[in-house]
Amino acid sequence: MRIDPDRRQRLRPVAFLRPATGAVLIALLLGACGSSSSSSASATAATRAAARISSTATVKASNGVALPADPDRIVSLSGASTEDLFAVGAGKQVVAVDVYSTYPPNAPRTKLSGFDPNVEAIAKYNPDLVVVSDDVDNIESQLASLDIPVLVEPAPANLAGAYEQIDQLGEATGHPSQATAVVTRMRAQVASIVASVKKETPPLTVYHELDQTYYSASSETFIGQLYSLLGLRNIADKAEKAGVYPQLSSEYIIASDPDLIVLADTVCCGQSFKTVAARPGWSHIAAVEHRDVLAVNDSVASQWGPRIVLFLAQVADEVKRIESQR
């Protein structure tokens, strides 16, 4: 059988998550860092009414269908957008989310898929707004023919892009001020996390693992630029010839001797400190020797919703621990 590499690449940054495990990890994360999304979940009627006038002014559906002033039958087929919608207080307007929208746990999860979207299955929910991360299988024009507006919120290049999507979703759903509040809080948290880490010279090195065949993410990716913010040097950057999601060789990883290994394949692929330490030759890597292997939830590390702050805090804590041991 043949595998289309484009398809694989498209699937790569996505969450492959079993809900039960995800919920436990998320609970731990929230306990450690404080919630950045649940406090804004309730919206007052007044703010919604005030926002109603401005909501359609700036945001336009990407498939040309007019957006309603106050959509209340939203279908989200993107995990990050689901998180954003609930964070800005539009959760009550969401009627269905896709199978990978694992957060928040109370989102109305269905069997809908953002990878193989079925326009009839989506239309069954009678949506007045559909949010997707990619225009897969011409879903935009298909929904346009049913007069359903679509917003495409693709993986952003950096945090600014993620903030922009939160603002946009806030405006489109009638919660612009709450969206602004979420973004302001995220900016402040990111700033304080970044300030709490002192930048080492030479910088600490990091290896971000996407799966157990050593696919990684360079500093050009959304996740990669978070490491840059913390002053880390990404070992995947030297493999730029192979693109921003290169497959590194085991030998190169060992030779690079990274100070920190971040496993974003704990859920999809069952990786852990134990499996990493058992790989041939890896016991020579500083991060393995000093047990500086950070196991993160795949879905948190592959999406760009407000929880990305928790991921950043987790990495920062690990970096501070490594620095204190030096």
Partner 1 sequence: MSIEGGHAETAIELAALAPGPLEPVGARGLPALWTFGALGFLIGALLVGLTVGPFPIGAWAIVEAAVSHLPLLHVHSPLTPLQSAIVWQVRAPRVALGGLVGAMLAVAGSAYQGTFRNPLADPYLLGVSEGAGAGATILIAFFPSAAGTELLPLAAFVGAVVAVTAAYLLGSSVARAGGTGALILAGVTVAAFMTAVQTFLQQRQTQTLQQVYAWILGGLSGATWHEVALAAPWMVLSAAVLLSHRRILDVLTVGDEEAGSLGLNVKRTRLLIVVAATVGTSAAVAVSGLIGFVGIIVPHTVRLLVSSSYRAIVPLSLLIGAGFLVLADVIARTVLSPAELPIGVVTAFFGAPFFAIVLRHSRWVGL
| Token pair of 176 as six digits | 């612009």
- Considering only residues 11 through 40, tell me which ones interact with partner 1, judged by CB under 8 A: 11-12, 16-18
Q: How far is CA 185 from CA 192, 194, 248, in A?
A: 11, 14, 36
115 binds partner 1 (CB under 8 A): yes
The single residue among 8, 92, 124, 199 that binds partner 1, judged by CB under 8 A, is 8
Burial 185-208 (b: 16+ CB within 10 A, else e): bbeebbeebeeebeeeeeebbbbb
Of 48, 85, 91, 100, which one interacts with partner 1 (CB under 8 A)?
100
- Cβ-Cβ contacts under 8 Å for 149 (sequence gap 6 or more): 61, 63, 65, 66, 67, 68, 71, 128, 129, 130, 143
Enumerate residues 6+ apart whose C-beta is below 8 A from 45: none
What's the min distance (Å) between Cβ of 233 and partner 1?
Answer: 14
- Cα 61 to Cα 66: distance, rounded to the nearest angstrom: 7
Q: Which residues pair with 295 in a beta bridge?
A: 263
In the complex with partner 1, the residue whose CB is nearer, 98 or 167, is: 98
Sheet strands side by side (includes 293-295): 233-234, 205-209, 260-263, 293-295
288 binds partner 1 (CB under 8 A): no
State which residue, 257 or 323, has the beta carbon closest to partner 1.
257
One residue of 126, 138, 141, 250 binding partner 1 per CB under 8 A: 250
**What mask, x for binding partner 1 by CB under 8 A, covers residues 254 to 273?**
xxx----------xxxxx--
Interface with partner 1, residue 176, by CB under 8 A: no
Site residue total, partner 1 (CB under 8 A): 43
289 binds partner 1 (CB under 8 A): no
Question: Binding residue for partner 1 (CB under 8 A) from 64, 105, 213, 289?
Answer: 213
Binding site for partner 1 (CB under 8 A): 1, 3, 5, 8, 11-12, 16-18, 99-100, 113, 115-116, 211-214, 238-239, 241-242, 246-252, 254-256, 267-271, 275, 279-281, 283-284
